Amino acid sequence: MHSPFNLSKPIAIGSDHAGYDYKEELISFLEGKGFPFTDFGTHSKDSVDYPDFAHPVAAAVEKGEAAFGILLCGSANGVAITANKHQGIRAAICWGEELAQLARVHNDANILCIPARFVREGDAEKMVNIFMTTDFEGGRHAKRVAKIACT
């Protein structure tokens, strides 16, 4: 399988309580494919604060300790907003396969944010597979992506 990401590094994954079930399904998916991952929690359906899990995932990607990240919460807005506070992070909210592909092709996204309350069962795995196998197109998009960072 071709991947633009260094899959010898773990995939960072995290969620709040609303994304917990899908996170557990995605962990099973990653284990089944033999991909290393780091689970930053949460570890139950008990109510928690999404930044407590989004920041560690984003930090792992930011520091190059993770190949890429996956974050889940009810709408994906909270985790995306939190992750995008980190320099070099391009966290994209995706609720379908085409959006996951475009997040990579056009935006060189490095964290996939999934809105658990708006995604059908099985679609999260499809989005992760597309996200991790799709190359950034570069070209005119590279110029745009280079303008994102606040330095």
Q: Among candidates 118, 142, 12, 134, which has minimal Cα distance to 71?
A: 12
With beta carbons less than 8 A apart as the criterion, state whether 12 and 38 touch: yes
134 Cβ contact list (under 8 Å, min separation 6): 4, 100, 101, 104, 105
The catalytic residues are 106
Q: List C-alpha distances in Å: 8 to 3, 5, 34, 97, 107.
A: 11, 9, 11, 24, 23
